[in-house]
Amino acid sequence: MQRRILLIDDDELILLALGELISTEGYEVVTSSRGRDGLVQAQETDFDLVITDIIMPGMQGFEVCRRLRDLEHYHSTPIIMLTAKSGDEDRRKGMAAGADHFLPKPIDPSDLLDLIAKTLSRESAGS
């Protein structure tokens, strides 16, 4: 079954590039440029993995993460956060919001793909 990934980032270029990258690997990708829109989409479709940027206009990544965890389907769905800063502060806040992984920008394409693959395989092994 094709794995579905939700990608949230306010930068269109990131959405385009990472969308290309991830879909080339055979995943189904849905992109969203607003946190709030992303939440709506998450409720419409059950995604296997959510990747979200932190700093966005409107709803920020932390809030998106928290709200997802409140949804029944996303209780334990892996969430990857893309951080612009490598500081511990973001990491701490992200953990508190319920994120699983953090990737500092700029992201190496292979690293991202590796992480996705690893996370999803663990997920499928666990379920």
Partner 1 sequence: MIRFRDLRIRTKLAMTFIMVLLPLLAVQAIALLSQSGLQQSHNSSLVHVEFYTGLSFMVSIVLAITLTLAMNRFLARPLEQITRAAARMASGDLRYEVNVDTGDEIGELALAFNLMARQIRDKTENLEKLIGERTEELQVSREKYRSLVESTVDGIVTTDRHGRITFVNRGFEEMLGLGREEMLGNEIWRYYEGGMARARDIMSLLREKGHFSYLEMEIIGKDRNIPIRTSASILRDADGNEMGTLGHFSDLTARKKLEADLKAAQAKLVQTMKLRALGDLVSGVAHEINNPLMASSTIIHLMQKKLDNNDNAEGRRLEVLSRCNQRIARIVNHLREFSRQEVMELKEMDVNEPLRNALLITGQQLLNMQMEILTDLSEELPSIKGDPNHLEQVFLDIIGNARDAMDGREIRVLGIKSHLAQLQNRQAVVVAISDTGPGIPAEIRDKIFEPFFTTKEVGKGTGLGLAISYGIIEEHGGRIEVEDNENGGATFRILLPTVMDRQQAHGETPSTCNDASS
Q: Which residues bind partner 1 (CB under 8 A)?
A: 11, 13-14, 16-18, 20-21, 24, 84-89, 105-107, 109-110
Residue 75 Cβ vs partner 1, minimum distance, rounded to whole Å: 31
Alpha helices in 1-127 (DSSP H): 12-24, 35-44, 61-70, 88-97, 109-126
Neighbouring-strand partners of residue 32: 8
Residue 71 Cβ vs partner 1, minimum distance, rounded to whole Å: 28
Residue 104 Cβ vs partner 1, minimum distance, rounded to whole Å: 10
The answer to whether the beta carbons of residues 16 and 7 sit under 8 Å apart is no
CA distance 5 to 8: 10
The answer to whether the beta carbons of residues 120 and 78 sit under 8 Å apart is yes
Residue 110 Cβ vs partner 1, minimum distance, rounded to whole Å: 7
The nearer residue to partner 1, 70 or 111, going by C-beta atoms, is: 111
The answer to whether the beta carbons of residues 52 and 14 sit under 8 Å apart is no
The nearer residue to partner 1, 13 or 125, going by C-beta atoms, is: 13
